[in-house]
A and B are shown apart, each in its own frame.
Chain A
Amino acid sequence: MKIPLEWLEQYVKVNKKPEEMAESFTSLGLMLDKPISHYENGKYRTPVLDLEHRMDRADWLSITGCACDLAAFENTTFNFPEVDTAKPPIISEKDRVEIKVLCTDLVNRFNTRIFKNVKVKASPDWLKNRLEAYGIPSINNIVDVTNYVMVELGQTMHAQDIAKLEKPEIVIRRARKGEKLTTLLGETVTLDENCFVLTQNDLPTVLGGIVGGISTGIDETTTDIILDAGNYNQTNIRKTSRRLKILNESVLRNDKFLHPDLTEIALQRATKLILELAGGKCYKNIDWYPNKIPPKILRLRFSRILMISGIELPNDYIKKTLERLEYRVVSEDKYAFELEVPFFRTDVEVEDDIISDLLRIYNYTYIPLQQLSATPPTEITPKIYKFEDKIRDACVGLGLHEHITDPLVAADENIKEQVRLENSQSSLKNALRTDIYPGLKQVYNNYLKHQKESVGLFEIGKVYTRHNKTRGLEDFIETRVTQILFVDKSKTPDENSTAVRKILAGLLQELGTAIYSLSKNAAGVTEIFVGDATLGHIGWNRIVLFNEKLLPLSGETKRVIFDFQNLRTDDLSLMLAPTILLGVVQNEISKASADIKSIEVLPSRFDDKTKNLKNVLFRINHFSNNFAEIRKTILKILEEKFNAVAK
């Protein structure tokens, strides 16, 4: 909301510099959004404040709305602008313009007046300057008055030339699919039944609450006008304007919760200005307002003020402050005030909102500090959160770098379980990832650009899949994953895979899941098992671990040895058929004796090509004093199962 300070001063006089006034507005909830600018036109000069609006206060889209709060904050008088409260004569039947509202769910009030014999001309300088300082160009005195009242009071208005109406009748109805309207800006928009229009002879002249058309506009030939101030369904305005991509001063106000009562005050103010600036005579035309809204009454308990703020405010202070904000005290007792909420404060829903008002004016800066002192409640941090932190530390300890990549990816028709977005602005980001690897690969490529030879990366994050189409939350599964990528360019893929397995071994050891096995499934993917549970899978340059599956299988890290362990090492060199998977052999060896602690598989150069056998060295770490017996057992098992022989 822009506020030319010269304009503001008409309603509230504060003896402060613009910067200080901006500070006051900021405290109140209207933060200075941009540096203070200055508008200048000849002798007219004014600083202009650009204040952030947070969607709640419809009345803060008017200068008087802001002025009223500022006056309360600065403890000074607020002067409401002069309005023409005289009841205008009712227009004669022959001159009446009929109002028919066919879409009663979209229009709350449509209030109209007729002005005859006005003189359309240029606006006086004061009016032009104020509007232009705000940012609206001057058109003519009638259009300028409607814009002026909009900025001053927050109510949009619309004037039409009666001579240009084909019939003395305005019908407000839902638009028809495909219907077109050329706006005042010369743009043609295509409408549908979700929006509503003001029509003449069944042709749209105005897109309701959003933008006027060109056909009935005011120009210098105009003498008789019909002026309307409407109150509409704000949700519809919001959706229609966003769909048609029309954002203007009207939309800005009509998509908020404005009160229908504001239409009458705005017409009174416009009447005062039109009669002053364009002459003529004002008549009351139809005010379509079928469902009047009763005033909102709320009870404000003193105990509640204390409960929320911790401050005991004197009753006099409370009363005075609220009256400055235009609340009316209906009744009071020793516990509470019964208050009528000002009609324009459509944002006030509950008692605590009134307390907000009190504290704003009290000034948040002066609210004291009090440290939390009660006993902390029971901890509810989920185990998985701490566990993932442990994985993170272990990965960093293994020399891996953590990255976070974008979960939003391009939709891929080949991935049936992919979760797609309906309204993404980018076709490259219209689905959720089902795999972290592609994102991490992109990071890896960047490391290559920096000439890194050995790169180890990881990400702990989610992948997202969809398993049903009931359109409920239960369709979707978010799986927590640790993805590792490791490539050392100086190594062959086989050597690299050894490094990847070492990372896996180190990580699982750190997580207390040191006993695991690797097994190739039917699809050729090597899976990581603890017992019968799959924890993830491994490739020559990557590891995927499912964190939630890993958690229950993890335990205390046993890496600290207090007593000397007489660990012995013996090698077993075997000749095996090349198709036999070494993980399976390793697994069988480990079952041969409880004294076996670990088995390393080492490459060997002594393959027997004539018999098509590969030579593998198994280095067995054990606690036994009698390895010869263990060796016998192992060889017997391996001979039976794999036809293996010792070399």
Chain B
Amino acid sequence: MEQVEDVINQIKIEFEANYQKAVNDGDFDTLFLKYFSKTHGSITNLIKSLPKLSAEEKRKIGPAVNDLQNELKARILEGKRQYEEKKELDANIDLTYTTPPASLGFMHPTNQVIREMNEFFRYYGFSVAEGPEIENADYNFRRLNLPEGHPATDLQDTLFIHEPSILLRTHTSSVESRILTQYDPPMRVVVPGKVYRNETANASNLAFFHHYQGFVVDRGITIQHLKSTLELFHKFLFGADVVLRYRYKYYPEVSPGMGIDMRCTFCKGNGCSVCKQRGWIEMLGSGMIHYNTLRSCGIDPEEYTGFAFGMGLDRLVMAKFGITDARKLYNGEMVYL
């Protein structure tokens, strides 16, 4: 037993000597391992030897070893703390000048907006869907109540791969007609994606841009659900004090159709260049899914009703990020800091 007490004393003396030499984190870690390593730590070994002692010895020596263990651990922790404190106040480290920021990756503004919008709709139980960009006239026009030669096809000058049957989709409604055909109601879906128009590029138009489409089909869906969903959506995006205007607007794939305008946030409705002096900014087109659309997609319009809405995203992204030329979003002129 005396032998053990000697060892304890020796450890104390040795520790004290080593402790005085320790100056940094690494030294304290080495010190810790020297005494507490699971394989070769002095105190670990001491503890391992305890079971060999008699009960009386254990009663005496046990607490002493325990105290030693606690004391040394506390000393090492304190040493480390003092070192950290000293380092923090080191006069040689000058923290007073600023530097350029560390580089962080940046998500494209359009995808940031899409993600924000998805977040809203997923909260309300919508799925996110996608579909092909190379599309046929059936899904892009015919099932959406747009027969060949209909004047409304002028609303969407089409880029054809083979006129009139194979084309680049002119709207994400083509995905709506695919999903209406493929799935059974009820459904709540949003569709972000690229769409194409045969337009000459200018400051606000490109031949491709981003659309955001959404639709709901279920029993008992009315135009009141459409208004409510879009009201909540605009409040989510633009704040609770947003002022909206609902008006009749024709779209071939819906009836009744509805257009939604937001009071211009720049001029508060007085008219400015952003709202083209209208006082209102056209936000999106919507309506109750057309009787013929539901029927041509295999859904019974006498049992189910639904609403749909669609919007161009690029103007929204431009407004949100203060971009004046839509081309810059996609032509590589935009860089991130």
Contacts and interface: CB of A to CB of B under 8 A. Distances in A.
B73 interface: no
Contact of A473 (B136, B183, B231, B246): B136
Most B C-beta atoms less than 10 A away, residue of A28, A238, A356: A356
Interface in B200-242: 200-201, 206-208, 216, 218, 220, 222-225, 227-229, 231-232
Interface string A231-273: 0001100110000000000000001110000000000000000
B176 interface: no
A235 to B, nearest CB: 3
Contacts of B331: 405-406, 442
Contacts of A429: 207
Interface string B125-144: 11111101111100000000
Contact of A235 (B149, B186, B187, B246): B149
Interface string A349-388: 1111101100110001101111110111101111011000
A359 B223 contact: yes
Interface string A1-43: 0000000000000000000000000111101101100000000
B333 interface: yes
B225 A309 contact: no
B161 A420 contact: yes
Nearest to A394: B105
Interface stretch (A83-91, A150-158, A324-332, A444-452): A444-452
A456 interface: yes
Contacts of A313: none
A163 B233 CA distance: 67
B224 A310 contact: yes
A303 to B, nearest CB: 10
Contacts of A185: none
Given A54-B250, A404-B330, A419-B134, A385 B198 contact: no
Interface stretch (B50-58, B89-97, B163-171): B163-171
Nearest to A456: B105
B296 interface: no
A34 B277 CA distance: 7
A26 B247 contact: yes
B249 interface: yes
A203 interface: no
A377 B186 contact: yes
Contacts of B207: 406, 408, 424-426, 429
Contacts of B179: 380
Interface stretch (A172-180, A395-403, A515-523): A395-403
Contacts of A379: 127
Contact of B124 (A35, A369, A372, A402): A372
Interface string B256-269: 11110000000000
Contact of B166 (A29, A395, A471): A471
17 contacts: A29-B250, A55-B151, A56-B151, A235-B148, A309-B224, A350-B291, A353-B255, A356-B255, A369-B228, A392-B111, A402-B107, A408-B207, A423-B159, A424-B207, A429-B207, A432-B168, A464-B133
The 5 residue pairs across chains A and B that have the minimum distance between CB atoms: A376-B125, A235-B149, A310-B222, A396-B105, A356-B256
Interface of A: 26-29, 31-32, 34-35, 54-57, 234-235, 238-239, 255-257, 307-311, 347, 349-353, 355-356, 359-360, 364-365, 367-372, 374-377, 379-382, 384-385, 389, 392, 395-408, 419-426, 429, 432, 439, 442-443, 445-447, 450, 452, 454, 456, 462, 464, 471-473, 476, 478
